[in-house]
Amino acid sequence: MSRKALDYDSINENVKKAQYAVRGELYLRASELQKEGKKIIFTNVGNPHALGQKPLTFPRQVVALCQAPFLLEDPNVGLIFPADAIARAKHYLSLIPGGLGAYSDSRGIPAIRKEVADFIGRRDGYPSDPELIYLTDGASKGVMQILNTIIRGAGDGILVPVPQYPLYSAAIALFGGSLVPYYLEETANWGLDVNDLRQSVAQARSKGINVRAMVIINPGNPTGQCLSEANLREILNFCFQENLVLLGDEVYQQNVYQDERPFISSRKVLLDMGPPISKELQLISFHTVSKGYWGECGQRGGYFEMTNIPPRTVDEIYKVASISLSPNVPAQIFMGLMVNPPKPGDISYDQFIRESKGILESLRRRARIMTDGFNSCRNVICNFTEGAMYSFPQIRLPPKAIDAAKKLGKVPDVFYCLKLLEATGISTVPGSGFGQKEGVFHLRTTILPAEEDMPEIMTSFKKFNDSFMEEYEDHRGYSRM
């Protein structure tokens, strides 16, 4: 019998190759257990609202009014909605022919792209051009679109940090490119050494791979580090020398939990460096409404900004965006609101600041509780979460645990995380899903569970971990640091 195109054996091999651990084996098992009635704490996805974070009031008011414009006709609208939310909704509706039910420009609504450009200009101190900003359905779509534009075949390599957020490995696999890893150094607080980068590139080139782009995630996922300005400068110089496009994933730019290294955008550092690099290096930066203190993951709002990309390429990217017609229009409004929130003097300003500060300050405390909690456990070491939404402790698995895992045909950290899930309901992602050095094991949790639940979660983790270690430790040694 002849095979049909969608029979498993005949589908696109790249689809099978793509792996995405954030919703992998652990997540599936957690969902099963939940169906059986077990209480699961989903710390596997950076999905703040799913863990109880309340939406910010002002943006929801504006979008609610845009979604239901008849409310604007109601004489009582002013009793429920503040005047600045009403004015903003009317403003957006006046800009969007047909309202939220109509496709928009494939690059996004021009006036919202202008709001994004103004935000970038204020942030970096250099004006930004709305024509070079495209709105997308979450940052993910933008990343995929750009990788698709760069990758021509298996010979094209993309430098990706390890550990990395698996969007990158999965998308590179889907588009048939080659992932070229560079390792972040755990003992240097997940820092990045440019000499290692050079080595990674040299090694890939010796295998005939044409390295064309480099990804940085700043602040890091899953590793949580914030890159210093000096480090960013080194990275930019490196990309310039090696003729690489830099993809700056900056979706966690609002999520910073220390004061020594505030977020600084790759674009600002690049433009500060002056010509020739500032005029030549090709940079794409990504942002989203899913993270920060917004956490509006379900709205799927994102953008990318292109620096030093030739107009003909920008046009090709536009053409490809047009194939999907338009990014979600409500998502675009969220993006507009994120980059242009209430200002001092606006009716909603105080409430907006109270809500957003409350979330960020609590995240900062939670980052500390988690790191300290992990570091108090036997055979667990953990760098402080300087930024983003994750804790990524190293678990020093005893050889007996590694053997036990192998007997079951499981990767050792998957084995550990499954046992943790069964014992405590805490659903994490094994470090192997992000990549890690050979023989070293981690897990990733988000720092998102409600602050009041944190102590109990950490106590339950410690109890599990310490009894796991008791069971498998034979006092002869550990997995390598």
- Tell me the site size for ligand DCS, rule CB under 6 A: 17
Quick one: 426 or 469, whose CB is closer to ligand DCS? Answer: 426
What CA–CA distance (Å, rounded) separates 115 from 101? 21
Collapsing DSSP to helix, strand or coil, 88 comes out as helix
Quick one: 248 or 373, whose CB is closer to ligand DCS? Answer: 248
What DSSP string describes 337-401? HHHS---TTSTTHHHHHHHHHHHHHHHHHHHHHHHHHHHTSTTEE-----BTTEE--EE---HHH
Quick one: 51 or 65, whose CB is closer to ligand DCS? Answer: 51
Quick one: 46 or 224, whose CB is closer to ligand DCS? Answer: 46
Supply the minimum distance, in Å, between the C-beta of residue 283 and ligand DCS: 16
Please give the residue whose beta carbon sits closest to ligand DCS in the complex.
138
Quick one: 126 or 263, whose CB is closer to ligand DCS? Answer: 263
* Contact window for ligand DCS (CB under 6 A) among 3-11, 137-145, 406-414, 471-479: 137-145
List the x/- string, 247-276, binding to ligand DCS by CB under 6 A: --x-x-------------------------
Question: Which residue in the block uniquely carries the two structure tokens 């047909």?
Answer: 98
Quick one: 56 or 297, whose CB is closer to ligand DCS? Answer: 297
The yes or no reply on residue 138 touching ligand DCS (CB under 6 A) is yes
Specify which residues 394 forms β-bridges with.
381, 442
Supply the minimum distance, in Å, between the C-beta of residue 252 and ligand DCS: 7
Supply the minimum distance, in Å, between the C-beta of residue 279 and ligand DCS: 27
Supply the minimum distance, in Å, between the C-beta of residue 128 and ligand DCS: 19
Q: Is the dihedral of CA 327, 329, 331, 334 positive or negative?
A: positive
Supply the minimum distance, in Å, between the C-beta of residue 166 and ligand DCS: 8
The yes or no reply on residue 335 touching ligand DCS (CB under 6 A) is no
| Token output for 21 | 């651990």
The yes or no reply on residue 217 touching ligand DCS (CB under 6 A) is yes
Choose, by CB under 6 A, the member of 26, 41, 42, 47 that binds ligand DCS: 47
What CA–CA distance (Å, rounded) separates 23 from 29? 10
65 close to 85: Cβ distance less than 8 angstroms: yes
- Segment 282 to 321, residues that bind ligand DCS, using CB under 6 A: 288, 290, 297, 302
435 close to 21: Cβ distance less than 8 angstroms: no
Supply the minimum distance, in Å, between the C-beta of residue 144 and ligand DCS: 9
Choose, by CB under 6 A, the member of 43, 140, 200, 326 that binds ligand DCS: 140
Supply the minimum distance, in Å, between the C-beta of residue 481 and ligand DCS: 25
429 close to 29: Cβ distance less than 8 angstroms: no
Supply the minimum distance, in Å, between the C-beta of residue 100 and ligand DCS: 20
* Contact window for ligand DCS (CB under 6 A) among 40-48, 65-73, 74-82, 106-114: 40-48
Q: Is the dihedral of CA 441, 173, 299, 342 positive or negative?
A: positive
List the x/- string, 150-189, binding to ligand DCS by CB under 6 A: ---------------x-x----------------------
* Contact window for ligand DCS (CB under 6 A) among 87-95, 135-143, 190-198, 420-428: 135-143
Question: Which residue in the block uniquely carries the two structure tokens 């499954």?
Answer: 418
The yes or no reply on residue 221 touching ligand DCS (CB under 6 A) is yes
Quick one: 178 or 223, whose CB is closer to ligand DCS? Answer: 223
What CA–CA distance (Å, rounded) separates 445 from 426? 9
* Contact window for ligand DCS (CB under 6 A) among 45-53, 152-160, 193-201, 305-313: 45-53
What CA–CA distance (Å, rounded) separates 263 from 256? 7
Quick one: 45 or 381, whose CB is closer to ligand DCS? Answer: 45
The yes or no reply on residue 134 touching ligand DCS (CB under 6 A) is no
What CA–CA distance (Å, rounded) separates 442 from 416? 10
Choose, by CB under 6 A, the member of 22, 232, 395, 458 that binds ligand DCS: 22
Enumerate residues 6+ apart whose C-beta is below 8 A from 177. Answer: 147, 150, 151, 153, 154, 156, 157, 158
Distance, CA of 383 to chain centre? 19
180 close to 126: Cβ distance less than 8 angstroms: no
What CA–CA distance (Å, rounded) separates 225 from 384? 8
Burial 415-449 (b: 16+ CB within 10 A, else e): bbbbbbbeebbbbbbbbbbbbbbeebbbbbbbbbb
Phi, psi (degrees; rounded to nearest 5) at 75: -60, -20
Supply the minimum distance, in Å, between the C-beta of residue 137 and ligand DCS: 7
Enumerate residues 6+ apart whose C-beta is below 8 A from 451. Answer: 362, 365, 366, 369
Give the residues lining the site for ligand DCS (CB under 6 A). 22, 45-47, 138-140, 165, 167, 217, 221, 249, 251, 288, 290, 297, 302
